[in-house]
Amino acid sequence: MLVTLRNANEPDTHDDAEKLLHMLSSNPQNVLLMAEAGYFRPLINYLKEGSDMNKILMATAISKMFLSEQMKSSLGEDGAVEPLVEMFKSGNLEAKHSALGACLNLSSSLRNAEILINSGITGPLLQLLFSVTSVLMTLREPASAILAAIAQSDRILLHKDVAPQMLSLLNLSSPVIQLHLLRALNSISGHTNAKRARAKIRKNGGVQLLLPFLTEKNVDIKIAAMNFIFNLSKDASQELTEQIRDTHLKIFVKIISSTTSGNEKTAAIGILSNLPVTDNKITEFLTEANLLPLLISLLETNITTSLTPQRTSLLEGIAGVLIRFTVPWDKKLQSLAVGHGVVPCLVKLLSEGSIKAKSKAATSLAQLSQNSVALRKTKLPRWLCVAPSAETYCFVHNCQCTVKSTFCLVKAGAISPLIQILEDDDREADGAVLEALATLMQDEIWENGSKVIEKASGVHALLRIAEAGNSTSQEKAIWMLERIFRLEAHREHYGEIAQALLIDLAQKGDPVLKPMIGKILAHLELLQTQSSYF
């Protein structure tokens, strides 16, 4: 009741309640009751200035208390973490035990994880894990659990030797500690700015150490190890290929084809998605293992359901692996993928998936569409007495097109969803989408391709990328706009809208873009063709 009155807005009531609580806080049991009611200041005072026994009493209470995220944050902000770390560093065994329990309960808060790292807990935790003193053995599990929690903060990367030390402990630890260490290492390697950390882990033999875990019976440990391998493979696909054998690929395919948990499938598919698509031996093995229909079936099953984080990762992984089966230099493999129904799934991903999945789906569609011109048939049917089918005739490729015969983006219904991605605010998929649309602007078909893109409101989208995209996307968008503005109808419709942006880009933008912008301005009769822009 007093805590409730203290939290009230009335100044007099607040002050009187706080005075009463202060008077009652001379009794440690009252302080524990205050903490249970959500008032932690007296408890923190005991942690800082109380006797050793009272410090242990308070720390033990925190370790056993149910704390909401707000309560954890409040304790951290009000200074509970630092005295607990000091207790762990310098206290006796009982003090260490209670302090670790309290730190563990608080560590799931990301802000508290940062405070724990800043308080210098990382080194002592690792020392404890390396210790062979029997009395300290009971502290190893909570210590490893705290490491797993605080590794979620990227501040852990400031401690450059943490990951290699944890790696060296993996095979020396119990299953519970192994799992915590793997989760910690997975968090460390998964941070966006962890490229150097991943390189150091690989240099220390991380992948070789992890591959035996693929046959681990403990499913949680197996999944944690696979997620860790996935993170390590993000920027070292060629390096990973040198260590991945057919036996490992066989394990991945078996996991994907079995009724194992979604997390296990996601990890296996994620690793495969990071292997280089140029490795023909891997492609051959996965094709013979009949992986392609498995992936498409999984994609069809999961794309229509609500997107959880796990399902999002699964779809991103599948989209990544499908890039391997749609490479432009292997038309036979492309035909196999298209025959299994990959195109409708890819088109659906353009609207339903995460931005990463959309980008990967667009890459596959671009690879397929690169060969559409080469695969196109004459628009005349084999027997002249049979009229051409209006349903299959393609305006862009000027032939009888189908998804299966020519991998045609237009017949796949991919143009509008591709352009919609450019209209959205996220710029991550721009490059892949532009590559796909640019296949409709090849020399032989650019005129009709530009008309199809314009009809789908693509000119506005391209102007948007020319203004807001990165340098590579800007260059591709302007290359396409130059071809689009060769047509008089497009110049009349969009010239006035485009000219201010183009002039501004020519004056302030990347100098590399200047010659192409000059060509567009010449098309719009705003610049002479003899201009120094060329």
d(CA 370, CA 351): 22
**Cα-trace Rg, the chain:** 31
- Whether the CB-CB separation of 65 and 34 falls below 8 Å is answered with no
- Whether the CB-CB separation of 124 and 160 falls below 8 Å is answered with no
d(CA 177, CA 399): 63
Please, what sign has the CA dihedral across residues 451, 456, 457, 461? negative
* Residue of 210, 209, 244, 237 whose CA lies nearest to 224: 210
CATH topology of domain 1-159: Leucine-rich Repeat Variant (1.25.10)
d(CA 278, CA 329): 10
Residue 379 confidence (pLDDT):
43
Q: Measured in whole angstroms, how far is the alpha carbon of residue 265 from the centre of its chain?
A: 16
Matching residue, tokens 């989760």? 183
Residue 399: what are its φ and ψ, rounded to 5°?
Answer: -160, 180
- Whether the CB-CB separation of 82 and 115 falls below 8 Å is answered with yes
Residue 534 confidence (pLDDT):
46
List the structure tokens of 92: 């006796």
What are the boundaries of each domain within the chain? 1-159, 457-533
CB neighbours of residue 463 within 10 Å: 19
Please, what sign has the CA dihedral across residues 301, 304, 306, 307? positive
| Per-residue model confidence as pLDDT tens digits over 336-356 | 999 999 999 999 999 988 999
What are the Cα distances from residue 139, in Å, to 55, 128, 152, 331, 506? 18, 8, 21, 59, 65
d(CA 133, CA 249): 42
Biggest CA-to-CA distance, the chain: 104
The H or E element spanning position 265 is: helix 262-273
Residue 83 confidence (pLDDT):
96
* Residue of 259, 312, 262, 252 whose CA lies nearest to 286: 252
Tell me the pLDDT of the chain averaged across its residues: 90
Low-confidence ranges of the chain (pLDDT < 50): 378-380, 383-384, 530, 533-534
- pTM beyond cutoff 0.75: yes
DSSP line for 447-504 = HHHHHHHHHTTHHHHHHHHHHHS-HHHHHHHHHHHHHHTTSHHHHHHHHHHHHHHHHH
- Whether the CB-CB separation of 201 and 164 falls below 8 Å is answered with yes
CB neighbours of residue 242 within 10 Å: 9
Contacts of 179 (CB under 8 A, 6+ apart): 218, 220, 221, 224
